[in-house]
C-alpha cells in the first residue's frame, strides 16, 4: 500500500523519527529510576525485572504484526493509533497506583509503540526515492542513538529533581509533535480489495515471538526457574511449525515467509541481529568490567560510553548518504568490519588500562555500527517492496531486538555472578565473531545495480 504521496517527505521523516525514538528513550530512561520506583511502590526487585522485561518482550513481538496491519489498513492510520495509544499508556504509567498497574502500562506502551515504529519506516520507503532513503534512515538512526544516549542522564536528572513519575512526561515532548506530523500526512485512498485479516496467523505470530523472547529473558528474572527457558523454547518451536503450515494454507497470511526468500532480506535481518548483539552487549558488559574490575566511577563509565554513542550518531547519516551513492552492500560490509576491528582490543582488556585504551575502541565500534545501520535497513525495506514495507520494517526491528536479547542472555551465561578478567575477555572475543558474522551476512545484500526503482 503506497499511502504516502511524493509531496510528503517533509512530514514523513519527522513523524517516523518521533515514533522511532520512543523505544530507546523508554528503554534507557527508566533504568535509572527503577530503584526509586520500587521503593515508592513498595515492590520487590523481581518486579523491577518485570517492568523491563514486559516492555522488551512486547516491543519485540508486536512490531511485525503492527507493520502488517499498516500494510493492510493504512500506515498513517496505524501510526496515529500507535502514537495516541502510547500517549494514553504514558499517562497511565505516570499515575500508576501500584507496580502491577505500572507493568501493564509499560506493556501497553510497547504494544502501541510497536504499532507506530514499523509504519514510520515503511512510509519513508513509500515517500522517498530509493536514492534518498539511506540518508533519511541514517538521520532517523542518529536520532535513535541520541535518545538512547540521553535516556539515562535525563532519567536521573528528572527523578532527582521532580520524582520518577515525571520521567514519563518527557515522552510528551516527542509524542505531541509526532502526532501533529503524522496527522499532516496525506490520507490513503480507500481500499476495497483487502481480504479478511488473518487473526489466527496473528495469534500464532505473537505466540512464537513472545515465547522466543521470554525464553531469552525470563530465566534472568529472580524467582523464575531456569527450566522456563527450554519450555518456552519448545512452545516457540511448536508455534513456528504451526505457523508455517498455516501460512501455506492461507490465501492472505499475516506473515509472508516469501520475504525471507527475497534476495537480501534475510541477510539484512541476520546482519542487524549480529550487529546489535555485539553493540548492546558492549553497552551492558563494559560498565560491569570498569566498575567491578577497574574501579571506575559512574561518571567515568558514562563518559567512556558516550564515545560510542556520539560516534554512532555522527556516522549514521554518513553511512546512509554513502549508501545512497554507492549502494547498500559496501557501507554495510565496511561498517560491520570496522566494528569488529574496534572490538578486537577489548578481547585483551585489563583492569589497568587507561582512558585512551578504552575510549578509542568504543569510538571505532560506534563509527562502524553507525555506518552500517542505515544501509542494512534500507536494503531490507527496498527488497521487500512498497506493498510489504510495513511487515518488513516490523520483522527487521524484531531481529534487532532479538540480537539484544541473545546478547543479554549470552552475557549472563558467560559472566555468571562473580566474573573475572578472563570471562570478560572471552565475552568480548565472542562479540568480535558476532560483528564479523554481521559483515559476512552483509555481503549478501543487493549491489548498487539493484538500487534502482
DSSP per-residue letters across 179-204: HHHHHTSPPPPP-S-PPPP-HHHHHH
Chain centre to alpha carbon of residue 175? 18
Q: What is the C-alpha radius of gyration for the chain, rounded to an integer number of angstroms?
A: 21
Cα torsion through 107, 111, 116, 117, rounded to 10 = 80
Contact 253, 201 (CB under 8 A): yes
The Cβ of residue 26 has, within 10 Å, a number of other Cβ atoms equal to 26
pTM of the full predicted structure? 0.84
Whole-angstrom CA distances from 248 to 217, 253, 256, 328, 395 are 31, 8, 10, 32, 19
> Domains of the chain, with CATH numbers?
1-186 (1.20.1250.20), 199-255 (no CATH), 256-448 (1.20.1250.20)
In the block, cell 555506518 appears at 371
Contact 427, 410 (CB under 8 A): yes
Write out pLDDT tens, residues 126-143: 888 888 888 888 888 888
Give the per-residue pLDDT at 453.
46
pLDDT band at 297, cuts 50/70/90? confident
What average pLDDT does the structure give for the chain?
86
Cα torsion through 186, 377, 261, 192, rounded to 10 = -10
Give the per-residue pLDDT at 448.
59
Write out pLDDT tens, residues 165-182: 999 999 999 999 999 988
| pLDDT at 14 > cutoff 60 | yes
pLDDT band at 7, cuts 50/70/90? very low
Amino acid at each position: 500500500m503506497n499511502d504516502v504521496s511524493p509531496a510528503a517527505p517533509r512530514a514523513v521523516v519527522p513523524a517516523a523519527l518521533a515514533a522511532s525514538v520512543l523505544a530507546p528513550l523508554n528503554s534507557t530512561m527508566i533504568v535509572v529510576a527503577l530503584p526509586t520506583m520500587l521503593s515508592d511502590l513498595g515492590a520487590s526487585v523481581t518486579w523491577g525485572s518485570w517492568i523491563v522485561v514486559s516492555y522488551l518482550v512486547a516491543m519485540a513481538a508486536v512490531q511485525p504484526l503492527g507493520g502488517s496491519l499498516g500494510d493492510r489498513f493504512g500506515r498513517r492510520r496505524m501510526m496515529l493509533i500507535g502514537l495516541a495509544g502510547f500517549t494514553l499508556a504514558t499517562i497511565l504509567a505516570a499515575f500508576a497506583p501500584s507496580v502491577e498497574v505500572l507493568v501493564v502500562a509499560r506493556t501497553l506502551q510497547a504494544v502501541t509503540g510497536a504499532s507506530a515504529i514499523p509504519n514510520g519506516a515503511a512510509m519513508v520507503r513509500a515517500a522517498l526515492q530509493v536514492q534518498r532513503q539511506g540518508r533519511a534512515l541514517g538521520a532517523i538512526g542518529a536520532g535513535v542513538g541520541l535518545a538512547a544516549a540521553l535516556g539515562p542522564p535525563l532519567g536521573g536528572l528528572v527523578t532527582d529533581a521532580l520524582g520518577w513519575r515525571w520521567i514519563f512526561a518527557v515522552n510528551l515532548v516527542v509524542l505531541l509533535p509526532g502526532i501533529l506530523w503524522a496527522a499532516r500526512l496525506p490520507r490513503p485512498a480507500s481500499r476495497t480489495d483487502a481480504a479478511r485479516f488473518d487473526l489466527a496467523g496473528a495469534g500464532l505470530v505473537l505466540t512464537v515471538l513472545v515465547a522466543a523472547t521470554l525464553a531469552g529473558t525470563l530465566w534472568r528474572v529472580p524467582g523464575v526457574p531456569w527450566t522456563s527457558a527450554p519450555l518456552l523454547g519448545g512452545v516457540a518451536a511448536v508455534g513456528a511449525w504451526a505457523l508455517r503450515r498455516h501460512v501455506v494454507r492461507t490465501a492472505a497470511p499475516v506473515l509472508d515467509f516469501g520475504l525471507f526468500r527475497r534476495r537480501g532480506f534475510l541477510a539484512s535481518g541476520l546482519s542487524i541481529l549480529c550487529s546489535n548483539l555485539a553493540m548492546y552487549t558492549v553497552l551492558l558488559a563494559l560498565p560491569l568490567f570498569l566498575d567491578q574490575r577497574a574501579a571506575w566511577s559512574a561518571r567515568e563509565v558514562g563518559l567512556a560510553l558516550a564515545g560510542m554513542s556520539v560516534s554512532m550518531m555522527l556516522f549514521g547519516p554518513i553511512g546512509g548518504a554513502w549508501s545512497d551513492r554507492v549502494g547498500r552492500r559496501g557501507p554495510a560490509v565496511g561498517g560491520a568490519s570496522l566494528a569488529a576491528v574496534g572490538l578486537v582490543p577489548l578481547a585483551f582488556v585489563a583492569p589497568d588500562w587507561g582512558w585512551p585504551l578504552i575510549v578509542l575502541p568504543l569510538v571505532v565500534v560506534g563509527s562502524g555500527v553507525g555506518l552500517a545501520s542505515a544501509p542494512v535497513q534500507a536494503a531490507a525495506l527496498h527488497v521487500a517492496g512498497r506493498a510489504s514495507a510495513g511487515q518488513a520494517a516490523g520483522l527487521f526491528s524484531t531481529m534487532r531486538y532479538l540480537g539484544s536479547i541473545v546478547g543479554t542472555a549470552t552475557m549472563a551465561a558467560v559472566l555468571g555472578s562473580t566474573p573475572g578478567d578472563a570471562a570478560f575477555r572471552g565475552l568480548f572475543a565472542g562479540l568480535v565473531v558476532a560483528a564479523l558474522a554481521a559483515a559476512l551476512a552483509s555481503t549478501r545484500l543487493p549491489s548498487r545495480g539493484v538500487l534502482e526503482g
